[in-house]
């Protein structure tokens, strides 16, 4: 996962680029952990949710196919200071 944040006092948006380094998939779910002060307010190019410090995004109906080596972009807006996400997984597999 590569993320490109646009931070301002009290909030941010970020573009998240997900590259599949494994076998091709027909659906995907990305999970990652953020700081305790971060709150997801909305997202795009996927279905976004937050539980505590874990943010989850699953593919939209039109971008679930992700070839091996393929990349998909999604993004979200939030409040707080994003920092560096940790514990990143794609379909349950740890990512770098």
Radius of gyration, alpha carbons of the chain = 13
Q: CB–CB of 53/32 below 8 Å?
A: no
List residues bridging with 56 in a β-sheet.
31, 49
> Which CATH number does the domain housing residue 75 bear?
2.60.40.290
**Tens of pLDDT, residues 14-50:** 999 999 989 999 999 999 999 999 999 999 999 999 9
How far, CA to CA in Å, does 93 sit from each of 2, 6, 39, 43?
A: 16, 27, 24, 22
* Per-residue pLDDT, 1: 86
Q: Is the pLDDT of residue 95 over 90?
A: no
Mean pLDDT of the chain: 95
Counted domains in the chain:
1
* CA 96/CA 87 separation, integer angstroms: 9
């Amino acid at each position: 996962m590569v993320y490109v944040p646009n931070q301002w006092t009290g909030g941010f948006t970020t573009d998240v680029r997900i590259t599949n380094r494994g076998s091709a998939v027909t659906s995907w779910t990305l999970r990652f952990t953020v700081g305790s002060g971060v709150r997801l307010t909305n997202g795009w190019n996927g279905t976004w949710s937050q539980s505590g410090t874990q943010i989850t995004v699953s593919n939209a109906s039109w971008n679930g196919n992700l070839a091996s080596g393929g990349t998909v972009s999604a993004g979200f807006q939030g409040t707080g200071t994003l920092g560096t996400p940790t514990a990143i997984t794609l379909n349950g597999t740890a990512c770098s």
